[in-house]
Amino acid sequence: MGRNATLSPAYQKSKQAWVLSIPPRLSSTGKRSQEYYQTKREAEVRSASLKKLEKQNRRLAVKASTDLIRDAVELDELARFHGFSGLREAFMTWAEDHERQNSSVSFGELVEAHEADHSENWSSTYLAARWKPFRNKVRGLEPTPIVTMDTDFWREWLGKWRTKEKPAPASYNQLVSMLGTVFGHEKAKRSHGHNPIEHIPRLKDVRGEVCVSTPEEVGALLAWCWTNDRDLVPYFVLGFFAGMRPLSEIKPTRFEQINFKERIIDCVTTKTHRNPRRQIPIEDNALKWLEPFKSARGSVIPSNFTKRFGAARKAAKVSWGHDIMRHSYGSYFEALHRGTPGCRENLTYNMGHSSFKTYEQKYRNGRITPKQAGLFWKIVPPQEED
């Protein structure tokens, strides 16, 4: 009895642990219970907190008035109405939630942890084009404890962001996907039983099609460059006829990586460290455009490129869009080889995709006809046409 009254820990040989006997007045269940600890130190810390709570309760009991007792009874009934066993359980639940929120990492800390774990595998292009813009979008949320960021929170926040920024479906879906990846971190799993982004619906892109150039536009652009600024030809050929990414693949490419003898391009990408290199076959028409550069050395990107690139597009009067050269390559390749064995596998490899997902979503759409594909892959330099 004395030990129970003083809330002192005792060693129990049968369980080889220190035990605390908790009286009903201090138990969250309202019944006597026992708690076990592996070390005496842990038991003493818990004992001290219970003694402190007991002391606070006694001070409150001395000050308790009739009004206070009446209010407590009413609150106890209210707690039972909301599904708790009583006021004690309701208060303990609130205290646990409060403690959990105070101990939760902030969203900024979660983002920093994700970056620390994965940044070594990110390319400079991904950092500049994806990660930094993402950090800017969510910077105002960084002080928020992630325990408060449930699915309803993100539905509301994303709804407001979408109303204000009016992003394209692809941009909205990209932001949602990145949030889902961040909340897949171990630090988030400690606060959430499931990923709060998991049930956020993506937007359907009503366009459903990628932006491509017509054979006439590509032919006019390359013909103008061939006659007026031939140094630009390799850039457009590697984009339209090899499907290389403009920034992370064409820009760092050198002429030494174009193997004319074996008809392959040694493509080294800076977008990802997972599959940094692939050998892209040189198509028949691409070989004819690149023929004058057999002896060239150094970067395929000429000096003062941005100004010359703009002048070529303006003079040839071609429309432009995001990754239009790469999307054109994928679409016309699929149309040319549609129905032939290995079409999907070859295109996926040539474009450096890690799965068939992009092929299924963007290129197997039947938008380009075999006749259009035939015209595209017969685009050759002017004298070859003659």
Q: What is the mean pLDDT of residues 195-212?
A: 76
Answer yes or no: is pLDDT of 29 > 70.
no
Mean pLDDT along residues 157-186 = 89
User: Do 109 and 188 form a contact (C-beta atoms < 8 A)?
Assistant: no
Structure tokens at 188: 């988030």
Query: HSE-up of 378 (CA within 13 Å, CB side)?
Result: 9
Lowest mean pLDDT among 34-48, 81-95, 272-286, 315-329: 81-95
**pLDDT above 50 for 159:** yes
Please name which of 214, 231, 177 lies closest in space to residue 325, comparing C-alpha atoms.
214
CA distances from 20 to 27, 29, 38, 258, 261 (A): 11, 15, 12, 76, 82
Q: Is the pLDDT of residue 144 over 70?
A: yes
Residue 46 CB coordination number (10 Å): 17
Mean pLDDT of 198-220: 81
Pairwise CA distance, residues 162 & 174, whole Å:
13
DSSP 245-306: -IIIIITT-BGGGEETTTTEEEEE-SSBSSS-EEEEEPPHHHHHHHGGGTT--SBSSPTTHH
pLDDT of 331 higher than 60: yes
Residue 289 in contact with residue 304, Cβ under 8 Å? no
User: What's the DSSP call for residue 352?
Assistant: T
Question: What was the pLDDT predicted at 343?
Answer: 92
Residue 2: pLDDT over 50? no
So what's the pLDDT on residue 140? 93
CB 305 within 8 A of CB 318: no
Where are the domains positioned within the chain?
A: 2-103, 107-189, 215-385
Q: Residue 184: helix, strand or coil by DSSP?
A: coil
Q: What is the pLDDT of residue 98?
A: 52
- Give the range among 104-118, 234-248, 261-275, 325-339 with minimum mean pLDDT: 261-275
Average pLDDT in the chain: 84
- pLDDT value of residue 4: 44
Task: Report CA torsion sign: 60, 62, 67, 72.
Answer: positive
71-117 pLDDT per residue, tens: 777 777 776 777 777 766 766 665 555 555 555 688 999 999 999 98
Q: How many residues comprise the chain?
A: 386
| Inter-CA distances, 235 with 183, 232, 310, 318, Å | 39, 6, 13, 16
pLDDT exceeds cutoff 50 at 1: no
Residue range 127-156: average pLDDT? 90
CATH number of 215-385: 1.10.443.10
